[in-house]
């Protein structure tokens, strides 16, 4: 018996395509055999998302891409950023499953331990964005801490070893000082790191990009998508841009 065929569109809500290939490689490796992946970034918007401010610059473009994806016949959409920019609006707009990075990651974390920490790049300025997401998803009481290294998203590729070491140091403190049972990496660009940290730390470390992929495949296979009672179809009205 074969697997379920499905086509997923991954929307990277930044105005640069530097991540697309990296995501494509990771997704090729981890997707189910019968899953087809298309990765696009938005054409206009911020070059990276590190704060709530950046999200506002990305949301409408991401939303329009998502609406286009549904029209193109995709089975699901991934909003590929840990800030889940515009996610609830896209859930309202679409009748196919829509998945962010933060929402599935922290829910999976919540089933693997009693407390989790989010460890990421972007510096302390990014903390508010993470806190708002966790609060909105109702898992604030399970958040041990948010620890962010002072490396900007666009500098991630500069020195991979230094990046891993910095994340490891914070993740270790999260486990030893803050009481985290599980670590959630807080950025979609931190690919190929979770496994390394998991081995060194001895606790589960979640890669949000991969978590989003497997969670989406799971939803499609289960025939599930966001409740249209919670996220109803928007009214028809005049909207200009």
Alpha carbon of residue 44 to chain centroid: 20
Report in angstroms how near the CB of residue 161 gets to a copy of itself at its nearest: 22
Stretch touching a copy of itself by CB under 8 A, among 74-82, 157-165, 185-193, 218-226? 218-226
Q: Is 168 in the site for a copy of itself (CB under 8 A)?
A: no
Q: Helix, strand, or coil here: 10?
A: strand
Q: Is 236 in the site for a copy of itself (CB under 8 A)?
A: no
Binding to a copy of itself in span 138-157, by CB under 8 A: 138-139, 141-142, 152, 154
Characterise 204 by phi-psi region: left (phi > 0), alpha (psi -120 to 50), beta (else): beta
Binding to a copy of itself in span 34-93, by CB under 8 A: 44-48, 50-57, 59-60, 63, 86, 88-89, 92-93
Q: Is 209 in the site for a copy of itself (CB under 8 A)?
A: no
Report in angstroms how near the CB of residue 50 gets to a copy of itself at its nearest: 6
Size of the site for a copy of itself (CB under 8 A): 91
Q: Is 193 in the site for a copy of itself (CB under 8 A)?
A: no
Alpha-carbon dihedral 193, 196, 197, 201, rounded to 10 degrees: 170
Q: Is 173 in the site for a copy of itself (CB under 8 A)?
A: no
Terminal CA-to-CA distance of the chain, rounded, Å?
A: 48
E-assigned strand segments in 71-136: 76-79, 98-99, 116-120
For a copy of itself, the closer of residues 167 and 213 by Cβ is 213
CB 54 within 8 A of CB 46: yes
Contacts of 107 (CB under 8 A, 6+ apart): 137, 139
For a copy of itself, the closer of residues 163 and 197 by Cβ is 197
Q: Is 190 in the site for a copy of itself (CB under 8 A)?
A: no
Stretch touching a copy of itself by CB under 8 A, among 70-78, 99-107, 158-166, 184-192? 99-107
E-assigned strand segments in 167-232: 182-185, 205-206
Report in angstroms how near the CB of residue 75 gets to a copy of itself at its nearest: 15
Q: Which of 5, 21, 114, 157 binds a copy of itself (CB under 8 A)?
A: 114
Angle (deg, nearest 10), helices 160-176 and 194-201: 40
């Amino acid at each position: 018996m074969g697997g379920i065929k499905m086509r997923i569109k991954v929307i990277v809500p930044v105005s640069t395509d530097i991540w697309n290939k990296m995501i494509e490689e990771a997704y090729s490796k981890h997707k189910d055999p019968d899953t087809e992946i298309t990765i696009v970034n938005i054409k206009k918007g911020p070059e990276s998302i590190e704060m709530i401010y950046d999200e506002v610059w990305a949301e409408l473009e991401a939303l329009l891409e998502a609406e286009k994806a549904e029209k193109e016949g995709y089975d699901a959409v991934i909003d590929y950023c840990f800030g889940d920019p515009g996610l609830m609006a896209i859930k309202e707009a679409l009748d196919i499953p829509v998945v962010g990075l933060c929402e599935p990651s922290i829910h999976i974390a919540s089933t693997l331990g009693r407390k989790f920490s989010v460890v990421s790049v972007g510096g302390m300025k990014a903390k508010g964005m993470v806190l708002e997401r966790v609060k909105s998803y109702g898992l604030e009481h399970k958040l041990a801490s948010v620890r962010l290294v002072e490396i900007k998203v666009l500098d991630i590729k500069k020195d991979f070893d230094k990046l891993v070491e910095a994340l490891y140091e914070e993740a270790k403190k999260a486990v030893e000082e803050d009481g985290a049972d599980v670590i959630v990496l807080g950025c979609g660009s931190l690919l190929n790191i979770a496994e390394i940290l998991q081995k060194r730390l001895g606790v589960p470390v979640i890669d949000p990009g991969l978590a989003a992929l497997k969670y989406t495949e799971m939803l499609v296979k289960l025939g599930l998508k966001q409740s249209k009672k919670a996220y109803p179809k928007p009214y028809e009205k005049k909207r200009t841009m």
